[in-house]
DNA sequence: GGAGATACGATACACTGTGTTTCATAACTT
DNA sequence: AAGTTATGAAACACAGTGTATCGTATCTCC
């Protein structure tokens, strides 16, 4: 499987970790664009050329950060996901955002350069289609609705971070259900017939 | 007022127009990032240094394009706007997009570098508040709802362009009302009391 | 239609940031 | 402890930006 326990050189782990931390710190200080690869390498106490032995670009480093965070979030949401209670799942996500606010801030600061959308879109589409199916008389094709779901969810998270995470995660979860999830269903999906009970 | 009829040198008009056209053509050919200022100047048959006499950056040129298009759209929507029929206004916007698809494509191609959101956000907020007012028991503050409105509308337009503008503008207008406008109202606004009938 | 203003083209230049290469040295694995 | 592999340092080629200068062409306004 994927978790094939391939021993990774301790130096590699250390260097990557340093680069990640350096990027986060610098982006929070100066913003994404203002940070150069030289800056990151210097802050990380790592040779400039060494950066490229691990990441092809600043964006690749950011993407690595995203993978870790997304994995964490996914295991948190578990298998249930969008199924029954969108409000609860939404609240879970916002709680996760609050817990890792710095990381999310950095990702969003660079979200013009890393494609958060397509990455999150796959996951969302798969989950949605587990509980729902495209409605035959739908106003929009499913792809449009999924695109809307992902991007407006990201926009909402971004706004929340900028606003100082003021409304509670629970409230934001409720808003997510009313303002995003429910309309998306209404426009493109219908509840999937349960096969089992028979 | 602003339209102070300041005569602009014919050479200036000509050069700016050439630069705009060149940018549009090149971005459609190669994508936004792949186009350099030297490319634009060359395609426009304009000296490289001349570019900077008119625009401080590629982004400034793009922003100029945006201003023109936005002005056109605004005069099309007129004073009514979000007031009564969101579906109709939505359809108008999508029709405008279809009519100027190339320009919209270019703007969206560069939307990671020019801030379409804040520019459009002001307009949207003002129009919304003419017909509605923040609800006292709202789930979200108005700013959150406006942010959602603008960003998801842009996302929807972007998707539509990528999808080949398939569902008709009317259908897209209807989807806009159901999936975006109505939920936004439900979450943060209530109908403003008309001054008279009290 | 002509004088004065101003925009333009061409060229050279300084500067910043990226990505590659090389080689000696240090750190890790087994 | 021996062998493998990652690292640091430095030099380099390259692409793109933004500025400065100056002679020439074009426009405006009277």
- Lookup: tokens for B190: 């209530």
Chain B residue numbers touching A179 (CB-CB < 8 A): 139-140, 145, 148, 183-184, 186-187
Please state, as a whole number, how many other Cβ atoms lie within 10 Å of the Cβ of residue A15.
Answer: 20
Strand C, CB < 7 A, residues 89-118 of B:
none
Q: How many residues does chain B have?
A: 198
Could you tell me which residue, B128 or A23, shows the higher pLDDT? A23
Q: Is residue A36's beta carbon less than 7 angstroms from any atom in nucleic acid strand C?
A: yes
Residue with tokens 């362009």: B161
pLDDT tier for residue B113 given thresholds of 50, 70 and 90: confident
- Residue B189 has φ and ψ, to the nearest 5°, of -130, 165
- Nearest CB neighbour to B178, from listed A166, A175, A186: A186
Strand D, CB < 7 A, residues 37-56 of A:
45-50, 53-54
Q: Is residue A30's beta carbon less than 7 angstroms from any atom in nucleic acid strand D?
A: no
| DSSP per residue, A32-101 | STT--HHHHHHHTT--HHHHHHH-SSHHHHHHHHHHHHHHHHHHHHTTTTTSS-HHHHHHHHHHHHHHTH
Q: Given an 8 Å threshold on Cβ–Cβ distance, is A159 in contact with B180?
A: no
Touching check for B184 and chain A: CB below 8 Å?
Answer: yes
Q: What is the pLDDT of residue A50?
A: 98
Radius of gyration for the alpha carbons in chain A, expressed in angstroms and rounded? 19
Maximum average pLDDT range among A114-118, B60-64, B74-78: B60-64
pLDDT tens column, B46-71: 999 999 999 999 999 999 999 999 99
Could you tell me which residue, B121 or B64, shows the higher pLDDT? B64
Touching check for B155 and chain A: CB below 8 Å?
Answer: yes
| DSSP per residue, A149-164 | HHHHHHHHHHHHHHTT
Q: Given an 8 Å threshold on Cβ–Cβ distance, is A147 in contact with B160?
A: no
Touching check for B140 and chain A: CB below 8 Å?
Answer: yes
Torsion region of A5: left, alpha or beta (phi above 0 gives left; psi -120 to 50 gives alpha): left
Predicted model pTM: 0.91
Q: Å from B21 (CA) to D15 (C1')?
A: 24
Q: Given an 8 Å threshold on Cβ–Cβ distance, is B178 in contact with A171?
A: no
Q: Is residue B57's beta carbon less than 7 angstroms from any atom in nucleic acid strand D?
A: yes
Extended beta strands in chain A, E state? 132-134, 189-191
pLDDT tier for residue B80 given thresholds of 50, 70 and 90: low
Interface test with A, best of B117, B142, B144 (most A CBs within 10 A): B144
Maximum average pLDDT range among A66-80, A90-104, B82-96: A90-104
Touching check for B50 and chain A: CB below 8 Å?
Answer: no
pLDDT tens column, B7-56: 899 999 999 999 999 999 999 999 999 999 999 999 999 999 999 999 99
Residue with tokens 């793009």: B62
Extended beta strands in chain B, E state? 132-134, 189-191
Helix (H/G/I), strand (E/B), else coil: A117: helix
Helix (H/G/I), strand (E/B), else coil: A53: helix
Q: Which of A184, A71, A52, A63 has the alpha carbon at shortest distance from A129?
A: A184
Q: Given an 8 Å threshold on Cβ–Cβ distance, is B147 in contact with A140?
A: no
Q: Do residues A114 and A66 make contact, with C-beta atoms less than 8 angstroms apart?
A: yes
d(CA B176, CA B156): 8
């Amino acid at each position: 499987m994927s978790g094939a326990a391939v021993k990774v050189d301790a130096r590699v782990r250390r260097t990557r970790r340093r680069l990640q931390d350096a990027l986060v710190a610098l982006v929070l200080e100066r913003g994404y664009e203002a940070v150069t690869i030289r800056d990151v390498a210097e802050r990380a106490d790592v040779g400039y050329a060494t950066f490229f032995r691990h990441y092809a670009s600043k964006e690749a480093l950011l993407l690595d950060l995203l993978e870790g965070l997304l994995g964490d979030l996914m295991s948190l949401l578990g298998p249930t996901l969008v199924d029954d209670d969108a409000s609860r799942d939404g609240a879970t996500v916002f709680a996760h955002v609050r817990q890792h606010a710095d990381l999310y801030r950095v990702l969003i600061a660079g979200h013009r350069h890393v494609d958060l959308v397509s990455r999150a879109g796959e996951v969302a589409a798969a989950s949605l289609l587990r509980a729902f199916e495209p409605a035959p008389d739908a106003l929009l094709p499913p792809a449009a609705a999924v695109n809307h779901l992902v991007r407006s969810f990201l926009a909402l998270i971004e706004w929340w971070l900028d606003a100082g995470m003021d409304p509670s995660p629970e409230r934001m979860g409720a808003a997510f259900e009313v303002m995003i999830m429910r309309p998306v269903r209404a426009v493109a999906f219908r509840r999937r017939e349960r096969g089992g009970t028979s």
